[in-house]
Amino acid sequence: MRSGRVSRHARTRMIAAVATVCALSAAPLSPQAVAADTPPYSETYRPQFHFTPERNWMNDPNGLVYYKGEYHLFYQYNPSGNSWGDMSWGHAVSTDLVHWQQLPLALSHDDKEMVFSGSAVVDQNNTSGFGTKSNPAMVAIYTSYAKDTGVQSQSLAYSTDRGRTWTKYGGNPVIDIGSRDFRDPKVQWYAPTKSWLMTVSMSAEHKVRFYSSQNLKDWTQLSEFGPAGATGGVWECPDLFPLAVDGDKKKIKWVLVVNINPGGIAGGSAAQYFVGDFDGRKFTADDKGTYTPPTGTVTQDFEGTDFGSWTTTGTAFGAAPAAGALAGQGTVDGYDGTGLANSFHSGDSATGALTSPSFTVDSEYLNFKVGGGRHPHVNGTVLEQGPPPEGTVLADFEGGTYGDWTTTGDAFGTAPAPGTLPDQQQVSGYLGSGLVNSFHSGDSTTGTLTSPEFTIDKDRVNFLVGGGNHPAGSDNPTAVELLVDGQVVRSATGQNAEALDWASWDVRDLVGKKAQIKIVDDNTGGWGHLNVDHIMLSDTQARPVSRETAVNLIVDGQVVRSATGSNSETLDWASWDMRPYAGKQARIQLVDMNTAGWGHLLADRFTVADAPAKSVVQRADWADYGKDYYAAVSWENAPGGKRYMIGWMNNWDYGGAVPTSPWRGAQSIPREMALRTVDGRVRLTSLPVNSVSSLRQGAPATAAGVALENTSQPLIGPAAQGRALDIEATFSLEDADRFGLKVRTGANGDETVIGYDTTTQEMYVDRTHSGAVDFDSTFPGVQTAPLTARNGKVTLRILVDWSSVEVFGGSGEAVITDQIFPDPASQGVEVFAENGSVNLDSAVVRHLGSAHQ
């Protein structure tokens, strides 16, 4: 459970998209499109074989335990609404890990605590005294979040009726170290010492701590592990378990899973793991050796007394390289030599750019070190705000009144605001002297402001917006909405910042229709207000101002490669594949346009080389390489000694903005875990549980011996189409650079590309065109996972659900889990090859029925 959501300003991240530009959506793909009388579990994006609660918000899986024929799945749940809050434990049970029965709320928040993540055990020997030996108690060990202090401690609750009803232990908490970053206990019985073993996270310190107990109530600290591996975000939801290597029960290794957010391999949330040994007290990770980057030619190391031929704008980078940390900055490390580019001059408030001279691309890779803020470049942004585009201004809020706009509630006051309101942070980015500002009396007020009706007669609606990011369709939105025939057809939010920036709706499909603008503030929590100005119709898209801290490669005037820090003062390697730009002119540009937290950039050691350098994140081990697999933990006591794992199928970057209603959040398919030797190294692998086969319907559609060259074509035909599919495909490599399958193809160019890149030896998922992707700038993109072809062949197993794909490469050593939100009519499946030929040896497509009972 990521309590950084509550502390360290992270609560805004869990309920809103961390976007560089305003979150935009079109209503045909928004929650409003779900009819009020839609039967449960048939809504537009409702997963059909992944667990979701009937209603409301869900995140981390908790309390995974098998008892008396039932797999128990508890989970972080908000009984009060469809956004994060009032954290409690929801509950579901299954006999096969596929068909789930939702049960009543298990552990509820109260006026003193929220019930954060944890685990559950069956106390067979009644060590706790909560049950009897004939009727042992199920004991939940959870993190208690104290509402008054923010302190996180470990507490107990118990049940003697198979988890149906629960009693919180009167002696809670059982471990309290006074920390606000101490959470997510995973408890198991450790037979060699006949005691309970707790694995728990010291999240901000990037450590895992181990405790031992005889009775679940009194705990003794054993040891700590970490920092190690990826540390770009908080460590959460740890899990520790043994597995046989390659099925050899005489060769046991231990796996320590540590979920991290942000700083995952695909950005944002992810599940990393370590393989090693556990001696009953201490976990020791296997030594992976010292990393040596590829050799090459250094083109800029910032070791001189000035920037040489590189040019600066603004003040952020100063007049010369920095000798480490600057005034007011934490310790900077990871750079080489004595100098680096550092944009912390005058702190995070300064902006500017540092640009190399033009050069001809003549190397395969450009390697460099980067640190500082994690504010990615967003295509379409500009470095300076220019004048508004030509067009018709609907409202500029300059007249001292709202004119013929109508208000409800008291959030917007009786007239436009002259700028910043009392107790508000500085508001900027608006035009003229007036704007809409719903911070009247702070965030506690609510209301609406609605325009008179107008006719859409141009291609775009442009406007400036800032304030809170609570999307339309969430329980308590702060949103600008476009209404046509009384229905919301477009919406936008701020970005949890007081600075206004341009948003733009493409309304070409609505030209000629009557419309209204409605500004909604229905939120009384943090960032529960909205700033809006200069609403206009135009045939030109207004371009938002960049808020990036990024190193960019510019070719033909366009940013074609980009990298950021990870909100850390430690520099790490990044690498760009330059081969697509061979012979072209290029420039490197370091850009700092961010004045908020971590609003600075560090860079050093630009090196041309024949091989890519790998960052700590790339060198870490990941249970899943997708964007949407987090808080992964495993079941205790599973029959046959099996180790099954499940993760929250979402990402804190945009978890509160995904377009689902009346629920938000899904769990991955449960996976059977194993340790296998892959390319000479012991790796954690995962494959879907076998019981998925119980959902298969009808005869499979098959294909074999299909030769492809530079083409994309339907796979098999209509028999292979669908929204819920289980696909197995084997390809024989020839000379194609890329090949694979496209799923959920169809309406409006929808497609989710699942492929293999022979030039990088990576499996990938491209969801750039997977339907609704514009609710957050970090959502669209390509995720990759290393995968070596075996005997010239690549095998893919793909589970397609109504709003997700899970791809398992090889024997499960490469896994990518991604949410997708395509049009329901997009059900096609295609096979493709790019820049060469490939042979599809075999493909089997099976339709999957619903698991909902």
Supply the pLDDT for residue 776.
83
Buried b (16+ CB within 10 A) or exposed e, 436-461: bbbbbeebebbbbbbbeebebebbbb
CA distance 186 to 1: 12
CA distance 765 to 749: 16
Supply the pLDDT for residue 23.
47
| Residue 71 identity (one-letter amino acid) | Y
Lowest mean pLDDT among 466-480, 496-510, 617-631, 669-683: 466-480
CA distances from 152 to 68, 155, 172, 178, 226 (A): 32, 10, 12, 7, 20
Active site (catalytic) residues: 60
**Would you say residue 33 has pLDDT above 60?**
no
Supply the pLDDT for residue 853.
61
Supply the pLDDT for residue 10.
33
Lowest mean pLDDT among 3-7, 229-233, 318-322, 482-486: 3-7
Inter-residue contact 277 to 324 (CB < 8 Å): no
| Residue 140 identity (one-letter amino acid) | A
119 versus 19: the higher-pLDDT residue is 119
**Would you say residue 505 has pLDDT above 80?**
yes
Strands (E), 173-295: 182-190, 195-202, 207-213, 219-225, 234-245, 248-261, 270-278, 283-285
Question: Is residue 786 reached through a cis peptide bond, with omega within 30 degrees of 0 on the bond before it?
Answer: no
3-state secondary structure 509-531: HHCCCEEEEEEEECCCCCCCCEE
* Partners of 537 in beta bridges: 392, 461
Q: Confidence band (pLDDT; 50, 70, 90) for 472?
A: confident
Supply the pLDDT for residue 475.
73
What DSSP element (H or E) covers 538? strand 530-538
Global confidence as pTM: 0.87
Sign of CA dihedral 98, 69, 258, 82: positive
Q: What is the pLDDT of residues 830-848, one digit of tens each?
A: 999 999 999 999 999 999 9
581 three-state secondary structure: helix
Inter-residue contact 491 to 471 (CB < 8 Å): yes
Inter-residue contact 43 to 523 (CB < 8 Å): no
CA distances from 765 to 272, 608, 698, 805, 810 (A): 19, 28, 28, 9, 15
256 Cβ neighbours under 8 A, 6+ residues apart: 199, 208, 225, 238, 239, 240, 273, 274, 276, 283, 285
CA distance 412 to 421: 11
Q: Confidence band (pLDDT; 50, 70, 90) for 700?
A: very high
CA distance 170 to 500: 50
Give the residue-averaged pLDDT of 719-733. Answer: 97
Supply the pLDDT for residue 384.
83
517 versus 40: the higher-pLDDT residue is 517
Supply the pLDDT for residue 777.
81
Q: Confidence band (pLDDT; 50, 70, 90) for 25?
A: very low
**Would you say residue 30 has pLDDT above 70?**
no
Give the residue-averaged pLDDT of 405-416. Answer: 97
718 Cβ neighbours under 8 A, 6+ residues apart: none
CA distance 296 to 713: 42
Instruction: Name which of 570, 669, 577 is nearest 624 in CA terms.
Output: 669
CA distance 493 to 280: 51
**Would you say residue 27 has pLDDT above 80?**
no
Supply the pLDDT for residue 36.
53
CA distance 705 to 816: 26
Supply the pLDDT for residue 404.
96
Inter-residue contact 347 to 533 (CB < 8 Å): no
Supply the pLDDT for residue 145.
98
**Would you say residue 31 has pLDDT above 70?**
no
Percentage above 70 pLDDT, the chain: 96
Q: What are phi and psi of 442, to 5 degrees?
A: 85, -165
Give the residue-averaged pLDDT of 592-603. Answer: 93
